[in-house]
Amino acid sequence: MAQMTMIQAITDAMRTELKNDENVLIFGEDVGQNGGVFRATEGLQDEYGEDRVFDTPLAESGIGGLSIGLALQGFRPVPEIQFIGFIYEAMDAVNGQMSRLRYRSGGTQQMPITIRTPFGGGVHTPELHADSLEGLMTAQPGIRVVIPSTPYDAKGLLIQSIRNNDPVLFMEHMKLYRSFKGEVPEEDYTVELDKADVKREGNDVTLIAYGAMVHSALKAAEELEENGISAEVIDLRTISPVDYDIIVESVKKTNRAVMIQEAQKVAGIASSVVAEIQEKAILHLEAPVLRVTAPDTVYPFSQAEEVWLPNHNDIVEKVNNVINF
């Protein structure tokens, strides 16, 4: 076991797959010699050559189209979109094209593409870097969306995403890149897609979160514990599809739930999670399922992040509402 930050774990996953499968190609803006704007691909071009790890012209739609074309020639592309806010430029390539290609070819073609892209607030980035746009992508049939919250999950999920024969959008929260280290096996391992993970067991309320909000939920759970409330924290890890089995099982035990996301209330996936819980477990609920989200404004000017982004206090407040309902 090694101690790694999430970004190191991500680099390690790509190194592992470049070695395992000669069809794996990594490309994007500044991912080559520069090693990526966050150093996620550092050293990979030196190790595997320009044929495997290369820079592209500055055009996200072109990167998307390039990925599709390379996949049609049997490659396993791992393109990078430098920041999630730029995905709008590639929406047709991702949502209109690669997500549909297995279907539109009647199952005769596949798109084993993993798009890596950083997102997430709390680090004072300029405009359209930190927006949580996962809800746009989870509304698209044909693509999985994966958001790790720990170095261990990041490596295992990224390896598994790259090996998956359908498109995966792999979203990396910028605040989690280097904020802490975790145990990560140096060898090859995978974390199953489509499976959530109970990060903390509890009996009184189920907290469902993903990305940076997992850590806010864990922090809130600690505070709640001091007040005698035992919270179970579920880290979704894959947010499309959501692992509802694990959620329903937890809600049947706790009878209360709060859904937490960094995205605005109209965005993200919170609403569909709440809907699914009421369809599948309404008779087990002692209280409505509440949501912790950001307000429905455009992502804040960087100086306003602290007052805008949801945090552990918001979670504690909502849990108290649910408990005292």
Partner 1 sequence: MNEEGEIVNENAMPDLSDEDLKEIMRRMVYTRILDQRSIALNRQGRLGFYAPTAGQEASQLGSHYALAQEDFILPAYRDVPQLIWHGLPLYQAFLFSKGHYKGNQMPEGVNALSPQIIIGAQITQAAGVGLGLKKRGKEAIAITYTGDGGASQGDFYEGLNFAGAYAAQTVFVVQNNQFAISVPVDKQSAAETIAQKAVAAGIEGIQVDGMDVLAVYAATQEARNRAINGEGPTLIETMTYRYGPHTMAGDDPTRYRTDEMDDEWEKKDPIVRFRKYLENKDLWSEDEENEVVEKAKEEIKAAIKEADNTPKQKVTDLISIMHEELPSNLKEQMEEYEEKESK
Query: Which residues of the chain form contacts with partner 1 (CB under 8 A)?
Result: 51, 56-57, 59, 61-62, 64-75, 92-93, 96-97, 102-110, 141-142, 144, 164-166, 194, 240-245
Closest contact distance (angstroms) between CB of 81 and partner 1 is 14
Tokens representing 81 are 């979109």
> Is the CB of 242 or the CB of 294 nearer to partner 1?
242
Query: Where do runs of H (alpha helix) occur along 227-311?
Result: 244-254, 270-281, 305-308
> Is the CB of 112 or the CB of 182 nearer to partner 1?
112
Strand, coil or helix: 239:
strand
> Is the CB of 96 or the CB of 295 nearer to partner 1?
96
Tokens representing 317 are 């407040």
Query: Where do runs of H (alpha helix) occur along the chain?
Result: 6-20, 44-48, 60-72, 91, 101-104, 134-138, 151-163, 213-226, 244-254, 270-281, 305-308, 312-323
Nearest CA among 196, 295, 304 for reference residue 248? 196
For 293-320, the DSSP string reads EE-SSSPPPGGGHHHHS--HHHHHHHHH
Closest contact distance (angstroms) between CB of 306 and partner 1 is 36
> Is the CB of 62 or the CB of 300 nearer to partner 1?
62
Active site residue 129: yes
| Catalytic, out of 124, 129, 173, 215 | 129
Nearest CA among 129, 142, 143, 138 for reference residue 173? 129
Closest contact distance (angstroms) between CB of 41 and partner 1 is 18
Closest contact distance (angstroms) between CB of 222 and partner 1 is 31
Cis peptide before 185 (omega within 30 of 0): no
With beta carbons less than 8 A apart as the criterion, state whether 90 and 137 touch.
Answer: no
With beta carbons less than 8 A apart as the criterion, state whether 78 and 17 touch.
Answer: yes
> Is the CB of 71 or the CB of 136 nearer to partner 1?
71
Closest contact distance (angstroms) between CB of 78 and partner 1 is 14
